């Protein structure tokens, strides 16, 4: 079947109701409607629809290869960098269709990202955090100092690094590096922070620190996190979306997903029967 036929068949198929069943007073920050994504001939996302609330943590869970990272990357158009990617459907952030705008730099400022492995530049801790603001044209030393300190405080790492800001960031432990990566994201003053398995390369103590940090950060940011760790999803998130084969099977309050899921496939996954 060619992709056009596949696309049409999928579009005709009744779309899974994956908008959250529970309504709250919280504002929708990101609204995704009937999103399909193709890597060349291969379809990786099918009719994904989800409303992500402002200042909440939304976890994306599901077995390997089900499309979690692909979906996460659509939210700041990181997939645009991959040859042969085709996307249809709609993603609105603050009511603006992000694929209708040409200002990807503005989008990536608003929607920051933290990756699986810490990816600091081989430069000092200070310069890593100041990098983005400098690229935005901020040159004033006092202003940069303030941004660096606030960002490192915001990432709960200031006390550990304040006396060694001018030393190489690569001399820090993996867990510290990941919190500096979060500081680097915060320095751009984003509204949304995407995290792709941010603790998978960390030891349990560093993982706990990053999880505590995520819990604090949701007062200020909308966070979307991909995780393979069920306990982590249960600990840090307000809502959870369960992905399977490129579709959202279920999206709801995290407590409901883990205690009383509506779909048998969700239950099988969260109880460890597959995946
Ligand atoms: N750059 C790419 N080119 C082609 N196919 C890709 C590319 N990236 C991902 N895929 C495919 O898209 C599907 C979804 O992959 P994705 O990485 O989004 O899944 P995932 O749920 O995040 O997996 P994991 O949990 O293992 O990271 C997989 O079949 C994968 O092989």
Stated pTM of the model = 0.89
How do residues 178-217 score in pLDDT, each as one tens digit? 999 999 999 999 999 999 999 988 889 889 989 999 999 9
How do residues 145-180 score in pLDDT, each as one tens digit? 999 999 999 998 999 999 999 999 999 999 999 999
- Of all atoms in ligand 1, which is nearest to the CA of residue 197? 27
Q: If we measure between CA atoms, which residue out of 96, 112, 92, 111 comes closest to residue 30?
A: 92
DSSP 3-state of 32: strand
Contact indicator for 19, 183 with CB cutoff of 8 Å: no
- In degrees and rounded to multiples of 5, residue 234 shows phi and psi of -65, -35
Residue closest by Cα to atom 1 of ligand 1: 82
CA–CA–CA angle 74, 78, 84 (5° rounding): 85
- Of all atoms in ligand 1, which is nearest to the CA of residue 69? 22
pLDDT of 141: 97
Q: Which pair of structure tokens corresponds to residue 180? A: 């500096």
The complex scores an ipTM of: 0.97
Task: Measure 70 CA to ligand 1 centroid, in angstroms.
Answer: 6
How do residues 91-110 score in pLDDT, each as one tens digit? 999 999 999 988 999 999 99
* Contact residues of ligand 1, CB 6 A cut-off: 39, 42, 44, 62, 64-70, 82
Q: Which pair of structure tokens corresponds to residue 181? A: 């990566």
The residues spanned by each domain of the chain are 3-270
Mutation to probe ligand 1, out of 35, 36, 37, 39 (largest number of atoms < 8 A from CB) = 39
Contact indicator for 55, 221 with CB cutoff of 8 Å: yes
CATH topology (fold) of 3-270? Rossmann fold (3.40.50)
């Amino acid at each position: 079947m060619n992709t056009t036929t596949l696309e049409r068949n999928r579009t005709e198929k009744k779309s899974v109701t994956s908008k959250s069943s529970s309504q709250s007073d919280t504002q929708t920050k990101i609204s995704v409607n009937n999103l399909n994504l193709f890597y060349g001939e291969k379809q990786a996302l099918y009719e994904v629809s989800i409303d992500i609330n402002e200042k909440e943590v939304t976890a994306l869970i599901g077995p390997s290869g089900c499309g979690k990272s692909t979906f996460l990357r659509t939210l700041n158009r990181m997939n645009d960098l991959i040859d042969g990617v085709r996307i249809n459907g709609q993603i609105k952030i603050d009511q603006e269709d992000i694929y209708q705008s040409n200002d990807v730099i503005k989008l990536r400022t608003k929607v920051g990202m933290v990756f699986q492995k810490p990816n600091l530049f081989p430069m000092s801790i200070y310069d890593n955090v100041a990098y983005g603001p400098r690229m935005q044209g901020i040159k004033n030393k006092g202003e940069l100092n303030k941004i660096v300190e606030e960002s490192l405080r915001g990432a709960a790492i200031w006390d550990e690094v304040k006396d060694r800001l001018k030393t190489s960031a690569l001399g820090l432990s993996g867990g510290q590096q990941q919190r500096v990566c979060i500081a680097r994201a915060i320095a751009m003053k984003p509204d949304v922070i995407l995290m792709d398995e941010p603790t998978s390369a960390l030891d349990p103590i560093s993982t706990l620190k990053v999880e505590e940090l995520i819990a604090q950060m949701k007062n200020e940011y909308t966070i979307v996190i991909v995780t393979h760790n069920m306990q982590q999803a249960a600990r840090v998130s307000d809502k959870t979306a369960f992905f399977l084969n490129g579709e959202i099977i279920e999206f709801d309050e995290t407590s409901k997903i883990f205690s009383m899921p509506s779909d048998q496939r969700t239950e099988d996954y969260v109880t460890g029967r597959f995946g």
